[in-house]
Structure 1
């Protein structure tokens, strides 16, 4: 899997294997089953300098890009140790602050986050807006050069772990803007501020990170909290959303490989009627087909990351990567489960518990239907469907 990788990139990709020598899938799964964040694993990643991959060196990071961030995630997922907090923090939030943050963000928050002393989460989704982000209702009402933030966000990954949250809010009413994408502003919100409450969203998926609803009641924000330009937040929002799709694609590819590795090993040693079940095409072909899908999706994920790093429009490739990788991961886990038979559903195997996660990633953070609509409109030139 080192096609066209530099020596440094290959080392980043292989880092997951080194981590897994101590913090393996059994460690991850034990935390996932009780929704407990693996702090020791995260601390190790921080100490090894990988949280700041997309942050310039002058702010405590490594000064690398989306490609390296995706390789880190894919390499970890190859060994069954994915972390959603690497998506919403080091990728979506820290890279965004590095590109558009204030001097306070860059000189104070970024170095601390790169060291792992503080964490970030990201908040755009709302109960009434869902995938239609244009219709979000959270408002940051201007008051001089300050703002009063009121509203709610839901399905916010790791809000209990984070110290700060990048919040997308409307700063100008929908009916007062020339373009529907105008009037949005991003804020880096201190989650310890007065007027913030959170409530757990209980999801039926074994994963270390939990989901939360955040409530904002006239939270006071100042110019030092603004990320980017006032009322122009949507133009830079996809600096975060395309990387999110790429990171999820990388995670899915790694998890697909991990499942297929377990499936192939089991099918090679499990003998029934005098021969290994892996010799039967009915067992072998579904896993081979899934392997093709995973490796194809991995190449598209790397293409999307390369486009992003080189300042090219990455939306098409990012959506294709996310779509293809989620479908491939579901196919891979299902094929590995079928090869295991009843053993695949036992806690000792730990395989079935991957299925809810990869199935979630077909729907979140952007569902496959919206990915296909984007591809149909933007890449095939077909009429807009929504």
Structure 2
């Protein structure tokens, strides 16, 4: 069970998973909150943590999203989350492993597994956020059999350090004339592929970008998977994204909670540790409970996905992401409140988490859209849109 230092409960995990959690926690502790992203990424890759979910025959660990979520959560709990774990091995690696060609798997998976290659993911557009059916980035066939991509994307993480970006575009169905989603691998140096940084009120190692695809020409084999199964392939990446975002939020919440608990034990007023007062102790206990509950739903979602139950995993992954986002925001808020003025100083490093914690409420899908999903899909209530 967990103690008062933000450590994780592991009672429903296997011995292998507990060992992985402990080893990653030690790695995170060595790097700490002032971590160098490249150094941590490289070491995590060499140790096999980045590709723990990818197939063994392509250099991965042969495990699942559940193990990858452990890696991200434990690094986050030590103050050094690797945001691109959500994107590179979880979304892109999963999609390529499940649907990519033999050549795409050979080209990308070993590097994604050991960290020598990274891939970004572009789906959100200026006029198509949660409604992916309104995506306007289009792909049309070129005379040579390749593809020409045109469109824009926003809030794409890490494009400047990624070797390629997995872009969600739409192609025309020859039978119906309607547009259908498809996935394309776009190299960073592709002609007509331009990026512009988005200035964010968020202190993060990974930067956000707007992308312009100006008639980007790609070979025929840039298409991932079956052109007629794009929606299935897209959600094969989005469910792990939600699970990993939950892990990101839980790790951040645990980090903040651990700081607050340590402070509440040491800070004394009139000879008594402030943690002895129920006005502070109870909200911290509540934050701990809610983080633990969120982890249980995250584990359920990951296990359903790893077992191949995509439909049930979709519901659980959305619930996990919602629960973790809410728990993270509350944990960070209470941690700052516990430290008082010190909670906003750079020395303690909690103030910057106020903005960062809200990311888990907003991205990759907002809490409101998750509530829509649950009300429609789980409860069978009618839509208002």
Match of 2:286 among 289, 293, 311: 289
3-state SS of 1:183 partner: strand
3-state SS of 2:380 partner: coil
Q: Counterparts of 1:130-279 in structure 2 under 5 Å? A: 130-144=129-143, 145-172=145-172, 176-177=176-177, 183-279=180-276
Give every structure 1 segment of 4 or more consecutive aligned residues whose post-TM-superposition deviation is greater than 4 Å: 173-178
3-state SS of 1:121 partner: strand
Q: Distance in 1 between matches of 2:283 and 2:340?
A: 14
Aligned-residue offset at 1:215: 0.9
Aligned-residue offset at 1:285: 1.0
Q: Distance in 1 between matches of 2:81 and 2:297?
A: 19
Q: For the Cα contact (< 8 Å) 2:28–2:74, is it kept in 1?
A: no
Q: For the Cα contact (< 8 Å) 1:15–1:76, is it kept in 2?
A: no
Q: Counterparts of 1:1-386 in structure 2 under 5 Å? A: 1-25=9-33, 27-28=34-35, 38-144=37-143, 145-172=145-172, 176-177=176-177, 183-312=180-309, 313=311, 314-386=313-385
- Structure 2, unmatched stretches of 5+, are 1-8
Q: For the Cα contact (< 8 Å) 1:253–1:297, is it kept in 2?
A: yes
User: TM-score when scaled to structure 1?
Assistant: 0.94
Q: Distance in 1 between matches of 2:240 and 2:11?
A: 21
Aligned-residue offset at 1:142: 1.2
Q: For the Cα contact (< 8 Å) 2:120–2:164, is it kept in 1?
A: yes
- Structure 1, unmatched stretches of 5+, are 32-37
Q: Deviations over 1:293-324 (max 9, x none)?
A: 11100100000001101112211111110001
Range 69-78 or range 152-161, more displaced: 69-78
Q: Distance in 1 between matches of 2:85 and 2:135?
A: 25
Q: Deviations over 1:37-83 (max 9, x none)?
A: x1011110111112222211111111111111111111111211111
3-state SS of 1:21 partner: helix
Change (3 A) 1:202 1:173: farther
Aligned-residue offset at 1:384: 2.0
Aligned-residue offset at 1:175: 11
Aligned-residue offset at 1:173: 7.3
Q: Distance in 1 between matches of 2:64 and 2:315?
A: 19
Provide the aligned C-alpha RMSD in A.
1.6
Q: Distance in 2 between matches of 1:47 and 1:372?
A: 40
